[in-house]
Amino acid sequence: MDALGLPVDGSSIRRLLAYADLLAKWNRLYNLTAVRDPQQMLYQHLLDCLAVIPALDRQLGASSARLLDVGSGGGLPGVVLAAMRPGWSVCCVDAVAKKASFVRQVASELMLKNLQAEHARIESLQHPPCEVVVSRAFASLCDFTALTRRHVAPGGCWLAMKGRQPDDELAALPGDVDVFHVEHLAVPGLDAQRCLVWMRPR
């Protein structure tokens, strides 16, 4: 975590490791992620999501904020964000009931009062608008922004976690979406391209 510039305390590390254990355990029954090896889960999931936090800290600049994690699956990145930033209110939404149930179980077992999960399609979700609407491998940028525009609070933004810079998707965005930053990330232990696409409604 030092490589990410993220000072952490023992309780945060214990929560993250407990989450990784739950993810590996439930994954055997519910197919939450294609990554099966627990060690690879640490790099491909936990560290990948932790790498986003310094960027979110800079963007939000406050101790409290509302975040919506769309197509969260097994809670990535939502669970990691909630575990690391107790002042953020994080809602994970997924169309698959068993995945939302898993996130609820994680919130209960890890006592994350700032984490909730909704089983819903994003088109029908009833939820207050948020400062940041985030996705990790949910959809194209065009679909992501179109489906979630009403969930972005005034002055808020979208954050799309991507692999290599998605130039074709960026070019396909409509004129009422402003891409104000594309941020490249280096994730420790992960030999793969990662970037964050920051957008806001015009």
Domains of the chain plus CATH, in order, are 2-201 (3.40.50.150)
Residue that wins the pLDDT comparison between 38 and 158: 158
Q: What digits encode the pLDDT tens for the residues 52-106?
A: 999 999 999 877 999 999 999 999 999 999 999 999 999 999 999 999 999 999 9
CA–CA separation, 130 and 151 (whole Å):
6
CA–CA separation, 101 and 63 (whole Å):
28
pLDDT of 34 above 70: no
pLDDT level of residue 2 (50, 70, 90 thresholds): low
What per-residue confidence (pLDDT) applies to 35? 66
> Nearest CA to 70 among 144, 2, 1?
144
140: left (phi over 0), alpha (psi -120 to 50) or beta: beta
